[in-house]
Structure 1
Amino acid sequence: MSDIRFVTENIKWIGTNDRTTELFEALWPLPDGVSYNSFLINDDKITIIDTVKDSEIYNFLNKIQYVIKDNSVDYLIINHMEPDHSGAIKALIKEYPDITIIGNEKTLNYLEQFYGIKENTKQISDGDELSLGKHKLSFHLTPMLHWPETMMTFEKTEKVLFSGDAFGGFGTLEGGIFDDEVNLQFYEEEICRYFTNIVAKYGPMVEKAISKLENLDIKIIAPTHGPVWRSNPKQIISDYYRWGRQETKEGVVIVYGSMYGNTESVVDTITRKLADNKIKNIKVYNISKTDVSYIISDIWKYNGLVLGSCTYNTRLFPPMEYLVAFLENKNIKNRVLGLFGSYSWSGKALKRLKEFQQTTKLELIEPSIEFKSAPTKTDHESCSTMAENLAKKVLK
């Protein structure tokens, strides 16, 4: 089978590409699909690391059988129990009934909860090791990256880190599976979108996990989504560290909600003043047109944020409410914030945006602007002042 790839001579990629699912976790758009990466170590003990989503079972089992012929699988290592990686477990057991499933205590609890499986399991603890013959595995628990049971498996002989969801991203693997075979710029964007929407809430745990990896001599990082990092694994570790700490670069993301264009009409005033004050990275999003996953990804990159919204049925415009609630949940920090809002008879948009600021404790740049129905010349001037003040803080 031509789509089985060699990670090393005895470690093979037996993953699959999903070009059918439209929403990852029923939330995040997948315009370019997603890969489910699984790996097989061919040694005295044949070992599979993570499986695939249940929709990919047939292709997955065919790849295993092609690689190992009439041999049996000895071990299945589960780094993460989320169903896009554990969906083929029952089928794998049916095909290889003598297989031993290896995971930590929480993994095995989830294994029983999801699939009713209790037999032929082996519980490991943090730092435990397992010999497969020439290859030796060590297990490193990384809880809340991004589920309680998540862990990583390090192959000590060829120095491959099987990192689970960590360091992964959206996008199918079209032919090439390695970072030096693909358009890395595309995957870097999709890895960032994956991180910011799925992992970002657990930034402190990201730092803790990376510090745990410092003593490992990692040559290859093999995540369960996206490209395998063999040419520069330090790059993706550095990116995760920076994103986990919410380190930003100079720039401003403006997100607005507008039903009839009146709220939107001050956006150009804000962008012009930002540009006049030497802000080069300016991203503008209409919250009604762009999926929040892309907006969050850019918000995570830059140190300036402006939110503006109309009032809708005495509340914040619903798509904007979703965004601010999401940012609150992600514990966003290290940014300066500008706010504006509009209403016609009951002003609640700005009130809710200010509650967001108080919850997140982002530095608020004055003035905050609120206008009735359509902005006046004075309102535009106030927006210009806010943008100028924000630019000074962004560049500082």
Structure 2
Amino acid sequence: MMPLEIAPKIYDVGVVDWAVRDFHGYKTERGASYNSYLIMDEKICLIDTVKAMFAEELLAKIERVVDPGKIDYVIVNHVEPDHAGALPALVKAAPNAKFFITAQGKAEAIRHYGDLYDFQVVKDGDKLSLGKRELTFVTLPMLHWPDSMATYCADDGILFSNDAFGQHYAAAKRFDDEVDLGILFYEAKKYFANILWPYAKLIDKALAKAAALDLKMIATAHGIIWRSHIQEIIAKYAAWGKGVSGSSVVIAYDTMWGATEQMARAVLEGVVSAGSDAVLLRMNETPNSTAVADLFEAGGMIIGSSTLNSGMLPTMGSLLVYLKGLNPTGKKAAVFGTYGWAGGAQKDMEALLTAAGFELEPGFTCKWKAQPEDLEAARQLGYEFARKLQK
């Protein structure tokens, strides 16, 4: 794709990664992008870079606008390799450039990429003049790394927000008013749930900084650029940061010979009969990140597994360990399943759910294949669980 002029003399020179389907455990079914922005002024400035494997494409795009050797400044909003992986290639192409970064970011960048750069450490509120334009640095520690920051250009009303407000979403069009809004907001929610959920309590502070700015555009480091729906995405971040717990239920399970699946369907019937919405996910076919996106605005999760070797099925262990890392406190959970001999899956699942911060409700298990009375108990489990969410 050619460089795109998103504002006068400001170009999107990043890369759309149509093929990527895994982002350290986050399944990116719609691909991703690594957004980088080139500002042409008296001083030429590049904001963020791309993954190392796309460094040549980044430089080729920059060359369509200017010789990379003429770049004066490079702003490193975040040192993670999907944002800064091209730094070693860039320092060779722009040997005279100064690199602006937080103190924490400098320490991290040296460990990642070596001490080859003219690093200029900045702090919150520091400014950088490009000539006609002035940039302001906005630190956002732990959203989602200690070094994270954003960069604001008041002259154009653009916040180069790095991970904040981003999505893993590959698209030929670059702006929010050019793509399917339903998909865009879903991918923004999925991104928040899988990347920023552990740090949600910090969102209010970040939004307070954003609210003080005159925003005409939010140029993210991943996905689509916001220009027509800025207030909507800010409102969603405000709600997500406070925690969203509705009355819907995620039922996630895996089964060996079908008995646990039969129970899962009975649980679903119970939830629906109580008047709540629900989604049924068999985890051998569902990415953990998709289950997390469904859980994010739900009231709780009902987990089911057959017992294998005195424990849960591996797919369920994977989901629960993934959830523990996100620490989804305030959600309710219950467990169901089947076993043949001594059992064990349900006990292990309840321990992991507790460790992840869920509020446990009574569950139900049965031996061997569920009988009619067992299926009725599973329906009742779903019904009572949903009713508690509605109170």
TM bucket normalised to smaller: over 0.9
Distance 2:68 2:299 in 1: 57
Spell out the pairing of 1:1-396 with structure 2 (5 A cutoff): 3-25=2-24, 27-69=25-67, 72-174=70-172, 176-279=173-276, 281-366=277-362, 368-396=363-391
Percent of matched pairs sharing the same residue: 34
Distance 2:225 2:117 in 1: 32
C-alpha displacement at 1:391, in angstroms?
2.0
Q: 1:149 to 1:67 in 2, by over 3 A?
A: same
Distance 1:343 1:168 in 2: 43
8 Å CA contact retained: 1:342, 1:370: yes
C-alpha displacement at 1:165, in angstroms?
1.2
Distance 2:196 2:4 in 1: 28
C-alpha displacement at 1:112, in angstroms?
1.1
Structure 1, 333-342 or 304-313: larger mean CA deviation: 333-342
Please report the RMSD computed on the Cα atoms of aligned residues, expressed in angstroms.
1.7
Distance 2:89 2:270 in 1: 60
Distance 1:5 1:393 in 2: 51
C-alpha displacement at 1:95, in angstroms?
1.3
C-alpha displacement at 1:127, in angstroms?
1.2
8 Å CA contact retained: 1:365, 1:386: no
Alignment deviations for residues 168-199 of structure 1 (CA, whole Å, 9 cap, x no partner): 1112121x100001122222222222222222
Structure 1 residue identity aligned to 2:164: A
8 Å CA contact retained: 2:330, 2:357: no
Structure 2 residue identity aligned to 1:4: P
TM-score (norm 2): 0.95
Distance 1:167 1:70 in 2: 28
Distance 1:116 1:156 in 2: 33
Q: 1:361 to 1:113 in 2, by over 3 A?
A: closer
Distance 1:253 1:152 in 2: 34
C-alpha displacement at 1:377, in angstroms?
2.6
Structure 1 unmatched runs, 5+: none
C-alpha displacement at 1:359, in angstroms?
2.8
> Any idea what SS the aligned residue of 1:374 has?
coil
8 Å CA contact retained: 2:69, 2:94: no
Q: 1:51 to 1:70 in 2, by over 3 A?
A: closer
> Any idea what SS the aligned residue of 2:65 has?
helix
Q: 1:148 to 1:361 in 2, by over 3 A?
A: closer
Distance 1:56 1:122 in 2: 25
Structure 2 residue identity aligned to 1:31: E
> Any idea what SS the aligned residue of 1:278 has?
coil
8 Å CA contact retained: 2:175, 2:227: yes
Distance 2:379 2:119 in 1: 64
Alignment deviations for residues 179-222 of structure 1 (CA, whole Å, 9 cap, x no partner): 00112222222222222222212212233322332212222111
Structure 1, 155-164 or 329-338: larger mean CA deviation: 329-338
> Any idea what SS the aligned residue of 2:46 has?
strand
Alignment deviations for residues 309-361 of structure 1 (CA, whole Å, 9 cap, x no partner): 11111112111111112222211123232321221112111112222343345
Distance 1:110 1:270 in 2: 48
* Matched positions, count: 391
C-alpha displacement at 1:289, in angstroms?
1.1
Distance 2:178 2:87 in 1: 30
C-alpha displacement at 1:39, in angstroms?
0.4
Distance 1:171 1:267 in 2: 32
8 Å CA contact retained: 1:170, 1:226: yes
C-alpha displacement at 1:383, in angstroms?
1.5
Distance 2:299 2:207 in 1: 24
Structure 2 unmatched runs, 5+: none
Alignment deviations for residues 9-63 of structure 1 (CA, whole Å, 9 cap, x no partner): 12111111112333223x2333332111000111111100001111111221111
> Any idea what SS the aligned residue of 1:193 has?
helix
Q: 1:89 to 1:119 in 2, by over 3 A?
A: closer
